[in-house]
Amino acid sequence: MLGGSRLRSERWDYDPALDYQAGEARATSADRSGSEHQRELPAAVNASNAKALVQSMIARDWAERDRLTLRLPPSFLDLQPGARVDLNLSPRGWRVEQCTIDGFVVVAELRPSWNPGAAVSADAGRIVPNKDVVAADLTLALFDIPDVFGEGMSTPTTLLAASSSSSGWKSCIAEIVAGQQILQVQTAARKTVLGRALTVLSQGDPYLINHAGMVDVELIDADQWLLNCDDDALVNGANLAVLGSELIQFGAVEPRGGGRFRLSKLLRGRGGTEWAMNSHTAAEAFALIQRDSLRSVPLPSWAVGTNVTASARNVSGTTSSSAPIVLNGESMRPRSPVALKVALDAAGNLALSWTRRTRAPSAWVDEVDVPLGERIELYRVTVTNAQESIELETDRPELQLSAEQLVALGSGPATIQVRQVGDAAVSRPAECNVII
């Protein structure tokens, strides 16, 4: 016996009183938690009949919780399933569910019989109308940034962002123009959290949390929202966004009304974009990095160095276009080396060393070097002064320039640049100035 358990039954149907919209009818029994049953009904019924069906279902399930087995003499050999039996028990009415003959003994399995209760009138409710949303014009933006989704790009790839000021959203076809080639791509299924900068973000520190710097942004869709996050979430990559050409993370958000937000507690130069920290301008594009709201668009290798634009047709018949960008192939580049160190020994030799970074997804594990992320390890070192320039390559994150090489280069101030050579592109340089 399952006495005291709670039964709940639901039935979905299409109600003619609601212009055949889907409705729901429920029935419950007892107060304790228990099983829940859902049954589909491919029919159109009114609210009262739907309620009666659900009540009948719950009454049957409630009655059939109990089971009784009787062993009867041969005089009951004519007993058949479905027969009703009255017993001096509670409840009195039982229904034969199954009969078997064991020798001359009739084994009858019974369950309590049930009667559907009186139907209770139900209200169909009211029609929930579909909200009419006027489609606004699209706003498009292209971003040439590192491979933030870890897809291992071997061709130049740009990210397409699309949004509109209306609350509704439907993916559409956009045209990407690179040089003389036109590509048609589908925008992302979800609207991008896209906007523009209202202030110019100043220079910052690429290695520490910037508590002083801040930037105001305005979103295209004023109903979209930006959220705060704590330090642990920042470390795990939360609130990653692109502003112009720089990848940033923000931990503090101050809503300022009308889709405007002030972002602070910033992590700067994410993904090796510290080179872009001093290139910010007013009204540059801002977008939150979310995989399902951005579309990666691979382009041919010859597109590097060309202007790329995106355009799409609006519902009104007009055309929306993005601001053009010069494609530099940032998605293919390895990250520039860091911690470039220079030491001049007593013999006049110049020793260089640095630490590589990887574009391959990897966890931060103590005392374990990051994966290379390229087929081979190769670095290109350039030393330039006012008179001469020399270029060397090495397969280790260190290099020594002999005194003879430095003499041939000439004395005076010099600039040292170290680039990692990747499978498809060369990183931006790690740079320092020395006096030879």
Q: In the numeric block, which tokens belong to residue 387?
A: 């008179």
- 320 φ, ψ (degrees, to nearest 5): -105, 140
Edge-to-edge strand order for the sheet containing 398-401?
A: 338-344, 350-355, 398-401
The CA–CA distances, whole Å, from 340 to 167, 209, 255, 381, 434 equal 49, 22, 40, 11, 12
Nearest to 263 by CA among 249, 278, 282: 249
The answer on pLDDT for 1 being more than 60 is no
Average pLDDT over residues 353-367: 78
CB 215 within 8 A of CB 201: yes
Exposure b/e, 86-98, CB count within 10 A at least 16 = b: eeeeeeeebbbee
Q: Which residue has the higher pLDDT, 409 or 126?
A: 409
| pLDDT for res 5 | 45
How far apart, in whole angstroms, are the C-alpha atoms of residue 391 and residue 432? Answer: 15
How far apart, in whole angstroms, are the C-alpha atoms of residue 246 and residue 130? Answer: 41
The CATH number of the domain covering residues in 338-435: 2.60.40.10
CB 329 within 8 A of CB 347: no
Average pLDDT over residues 93-114: 87
**pLDDT, tens digit, 9 for 90 and up, residues 191-243:** 999 999 999 999 999 989 999 899 999 999 999 999 999 999 998 899 999 99
Edge-to-edge strand order for the sheet containing 413-420?
A: 389-394, 379-385, 413-420, 430-435
Domain ranges of the chain: 1-64+114-130, 72-113, 138-326, 338-435
**pLDDT, tens digit, 9 for 90 and up, residues 152-197:** 778 899 999 999 999 888 899 999 999 889 999 999 999 999 999 9
| pLDDT for res 8 | 59
The most confident of the ranges 91-95, 174-178, 407-411 is 174-178
CB 387 within 8 A of CB 410: yes
How far apart, in whole angstroms, are the C-alpha atoms of residue 310 and residue 260? Answer: 25
How buried is residue 411: exposed, middle or buried, by Cβ count under 10 Å (0-12/13-18/19+)?
A: exposed
The most confident of the ranges 50-54, 68-72, 130-134, 343-347 is 68-72
pLDDT band at 278 (very low <50, low <70, confident <90, very high): very high
